[in-house]
Amino acid sequence: MHASCRSRCSKQLRTGGVFLSACVVAMGLMGGCPRMQKFLHRNDPVPTARASTPVNIRDIPAPLRGTIGGEASIIGNESTLVSGIGFVVGLNGTGGLTIPEQYAAHLERMMSINGVSIANANGSSPVSGKSPRALLQDPNTAAVIIQAAIPPGAQAGEHFDLYVRAINATSLEGGKLWSTEMRIGPPSAFGDPQARIIASGKGPIFLNPFAEPGGSFDGVTRDVGRVLNGGTVTFPTEIQVVLDNPSHQRARLITSAINSVFPMRPGDREPTARGKDETLVLVRVPTEYQDRHSDFVNLLSHITIDQSYPELFARRYAVTLKSDAYLASDMSWCLQALGERSIPFLQDLYDNPDAAPRLAALRAGAGLNDPRAAEHLQDIATNGPENLRTDAIALMSEIDGRPAIDRTLRELLESDKLSIRVEAYEGLIQRAINARKRQILNHLASRDNRIGESPNLTLSQVDVLANSWVPSDPVRGISRQVVAGKFFLDIVPFGDPLIYITQQDVPRIVLFGRDMEIKRPLLASAWSDRLMLTADSPSDDVRLYYRDDNTRRTIVNNKTPTAIPDLVKYLANDPTTNGRDPGLGFSYSQVVGALYELYDDDGISAFFTTEQDRLLADLLVSATGEEIEVRPENAGGKTQMVPINDPQRPVLDRSDDLRSTRRTLLVPVNPPAPENQGAIDE
């Protein structure tokens, strides 16, 4: 390019640069002018005052800050009341009375939906060719109100007990509940507001086992009963963690902390916790806690949200546990929720001279399966104060392995204290079931590669197998079998003879002692002489006479089994000619009643005790804001409407030193003479 041209271009560029710089400076100077500022921002949105969200801080002890329970509310952590209106068949002419129209309309509608009608002839079926109205008027049927308490976080398929009350029958003896839908809240008939269906119930009705079959004047109320383990959860309930201060980050931390403490294990289909939004975390009860809902809820609320430094928090909680006795229970749950890394800090407290920190540490150690905790709990169970021994037995029983625990429990089966013996049995049978479960799983694992073997069982099927049959072994020495598909018969060949009867969950008859037999000579009668057992001398066979007034059949057996286990099976087995061991076909209630009458007539050298029913207690706690009608089980009592949370009506004997609730509540039946009262708790 020519030199003159380059000179002109350079001059133009310098001139343009100066002009742009001048514009920038001018704009900057004008920007400082208020009028110019207004002009420049004329199209900006008008700012509005933003309300500040207050931060909610709970008034809780400082050591509990940073836990889930310290920053969130846990919804659904209590039992849920469910109810239904059901239909019972198989009565002995005691039903079919007048029924309120609202209940009749409800049941007629449900029967019609399920195909019950005059046009539906089904041969020998009890509903064949009958209208719903005719069925309600049948003397062998009854309408009933059903109530139950479902534990928090119950999963689909879990079972629970039902409380059944007759609407139009004088007795529910012999009755069987048809499948009934159960809804949240108190009972509601058709036309009333309908809550969500979350369960169903069905099964044979269990009456007071000391009632006389067919009797009316023996002082027992027969229009109330229970269906043991007859309820089934159909819609799982979830526990909700609701944050006090919405935060996506905090919700994610809480979700992560829960899943860290409760990781997925065999049988779990999804993680324990899943975040919903910045406020809500949904929680389900893991499979391993399905029988320990209250333990799970306590652990959940005491989880430390920050899982980065567990040892730091463990040291802090242990110091608080030692210094602040009123926080001992909370610190125990906090330490257990931290997991195995807190065990060294707990072990330092196992022999603490102060009872509160020592017992709280042992509870956490047992929950973490620490073998050293077992040694201290064994000492308390054997030599400790009376009010702590049963709790120590229950905690010790939950620690895996350690044959020394089984030996200690076997020794305690021979205690002269009734509650100690029964608690030791409960712990030992559960340990035997767990061992049986491991044995089945190991067998299934060993045959995986074999040809022609049947497919593996599900975990729920393994549970059923393990619970249904427990062979005796050298370690524990107790056994279990199913009798006629009606109840468990557990044999505990240790200590003085004792018959123990359960009244919740799966029915059980437990026989303590060796070689329990009918005493001879014998003259025992029951139920207005409709059942009689006689033997003229110690060497004579026992003769049995039984008359069933309902079926009009009479049975005479000149060689009745004398061993009590064999007698129990004979009473329960069905009276079929094709059966290998035919019997009388008694229900669980009738078998228990017959044993009691035999005991009462001095036909058995054994103590007799029953488990106190806790179903009504659960109903009282779960029916928040409601009242439920409780009828007496003995004549002379008054029907009453009992409000829940009634402080004047204690239901459970509680001991908070080691456990929140006692596993077993006992009611001795007709205690022996004063000189023999050493075997019965005062």
pLDDT over 50 at 645, yes or no: no
pLDDT, one tens digit per residue, over 603-631 is 999 998 887 655 555 666 565 544 444 44
Contacts 24+ apart (CB under 8 A), 205-209: 205/88, 205/164, 205/172, 205/175, 205/176, 205/177, 206/503, 206/507, 206/587, 206/588, 206/589, 207/172, 207/173, 207/589, 208/589, 208/633, 209/501, 209/503, 209/588, 209/589, 209/592, 209/593, 209/596, 209/610
Strands of 239-243's sheet in order across: 72-75, 239-243, 280-283, 273-275
Average pLDDT over residues 429-447: 86
pLDDT, one tens digit per residue, over 370-382 is 999 999 999 999 9
For 219, residues 6+ apart whose C-beta sits below 8 A from its C-beta are 634, 635, 636
> Among 608, 602, 594, 601, which residue's Cα sits nearest to residue 531?
594
Average pLDDT over residues 120-125: 58
Tokens encoding 610: 């029953």
Q: How far is CA 630 from CA 3, 5, 96, 269, 641, in A?
A: 116, 113, 22, 40, 6
Question: What whole-number distance in Å separates Cα of residue 208 and Cα of residue 223?
Answer: 10
Gyration radius from the chain CA atoms: 34
Q: Is residue 346 within 8 Å of residue 318, measured between CB atoms? A: yes
Task: List the beta strands (DSSP E) in 576-672.
Answer: 607-611, 627-630, 640-643, 666-668
CATH number belonging to the domain at 238-301, selected among 1.10.150, 3.40.50, 3.30.70, 3.40.1350 = 3.30.70
> Among 160, 142, 148, which residue's Cα sits nearest to residue 223?
142
Q: Which of 580-584, 613-617, 641-645 has the lowest mean pLDDT?
A: 641-645
Tokens encoding 134: 């005719």
Single pTM value for the model? 0.78
Helices (H) and strands (E) in the chain, counts: 19, 22
**Which pLDDT score, from 0 to 100, does residue 13 have?**
43
- Domain ranges in the chain are 80-233, 238-301, 522-604
Kindly state the percentage of the chain with pLDDT values over 70. Answer: 75
Residues linked to residue 142 through DSSP beta bridges, in sequence order: 88
Q: Is residue 375 within 8 Å of residue 346, measured between CB atoms? A: no
The per-residue DSSP string of 649-660 comes to ---S---TTT-S
pLDDT over 60 at 139, yes or no: yes
Residue 19 or residue 169, greater confidence: 169
For 159, residues 6+ apart whose C-beta sits below 8 A from its C-beta are 229, 230, 231, 232, 233, 505
Tokens encoding 92: 């002995």
